[in-house]
Amino acid sequence: MVGHSPALDTLRDSIIRSGSAFLRNARWVPGVTCPTCAGILNPGFSECRPCAERAGSPLLADNLGFLTYGWDGGQAGRVMYAYKANGATSYQLISSILGYAVVAHWDCIARHAGGHPDGWAYVPSLSGRQGVHPLAQIALQFMGSVPNVPIIANQVADGVRTFNAAHFTVQPTTARHVLLLDDTWTTGGHLQSASAALKVAGVEQVTGLAVARWLDPDWSTTKTFMADLTIDFDPALCPYTGLPC
């Protein structure tokens, strides 16, 4: 069940007013989207290529959630850039959808993973950006007493999108189940490498949550899929299943 409180219900109404017209819930459709990352499948395949290539590693996130699809040139895509580049309304919208997803769907994490997280982390940028990551700033507002597990980005020699725990450093931690937040998932290399680094540091379970599953509209299969994304965003749908919870 999605969480309810007067504040959460007000927040949901606000998200529906300001974001539902252009945000689109991630969907898990057999034969159409990847069962792991909700990305669009090549016709005839049952997994997307990056997820298939990483499959079997014990260091991957155990559960993954996504809030919305986004793409270059679209309004959802714009919001994903503008919230960290001095936009005005984007920051509040990302705060709203991420806050709602974490807090209202907190018990959904426990249902899938067998317990609530006892730590949270965010995937730091690998491109050398400085300063507090806006996603961390947002998450700090609603993570309550759950402690942050710092992840440090390293110099990357083999391409930022490859799956490699060495892209990040995590100090040994007592957290056993970490909620790992990211803003956009393109191939999943960032989030999965960060998950791997957490597990190398002793974390047993990782629940990943990315705000936007990025799509490439230049690809015809994706374009067809995007044309069918006509249903308005509903924050009450589960980020981990795409269904009512």
Partner 1 sequence: MVASSVDYMFDRIMRRILRKKKHLYYAASVSESASEEQAELVALLRELPGGMNWIQIAGAVLEHGSASAVRAQFPPDGLFGMDEHESRLEEARRDMSSWLVDGLEFWSIVDDRYPARVRDIQEAPPFLFARGRRVDEETAVSVVGSRKASKRGLHMASAISDALVSMDITVIAGLAAGIDTAAHQTALDRGGRTVAVIGTGINRYYPTANRKLQDRIADEGLLLSQFWPDAPPQPHNFPMRNAVMSGYGLATVVVEAGEHSGARIQARMAVHHGRPVILTDLVVNSTDWGKELLDRPDVHVASSIDDITAVVRELVERPRQLGAVLSQIAV
Residues lying near partner 1 in the complex (CB under 8 A) are found at: 5, 7-8, 10-11, 14, 16-22, 72-75, 77-79, 81-82, 84-90, 92-93, 95-96, 99-100, 102-103, 106, 116, 127, 129-131, 133-134, 141-144, 146, 232
Select from 194, 211, 209, 213 the least CA-distant residue to 59: 194
In which residue are the tokens 């799509």 written? 215
The answer to whether the beta carbons of residues 109 and 179 sit under 8 Å apart is yes
Phi-psi bin for 174: left (phi > 0), alpha (psi -120 to 50), beta?
Answer: alpha
47 or 118, CB closer to partner 1?
118
- Which of 163, 185 has the CB closer to partner 1? 185
Q: Calculate the alpha carbon distances from 165 to 60, 224, 237 in Å.
A: 10, 35, 32
Min separation Cβ 110 and partner 1, Å? 11
For partner 1, which is the closer residue by CB, 3 or 242? 3
Q: At its nearest, how many Å lie between partner 1 and the CB of residue 54?
A: 26
Rounded to 5°, the CA angle 35-55-162 comes to 105
Tell me how far, at minimum, the Cβ of 77 lies from partner 1, in Å.
Answer: 7
Pairing of strands 63-71, 177-185: unpaired
- Residue 220 CB, nearest approach to partner 1 (Å): 19
The smaller minimum CB distance to partner 1, of residues 8 and 156, is found at: 8
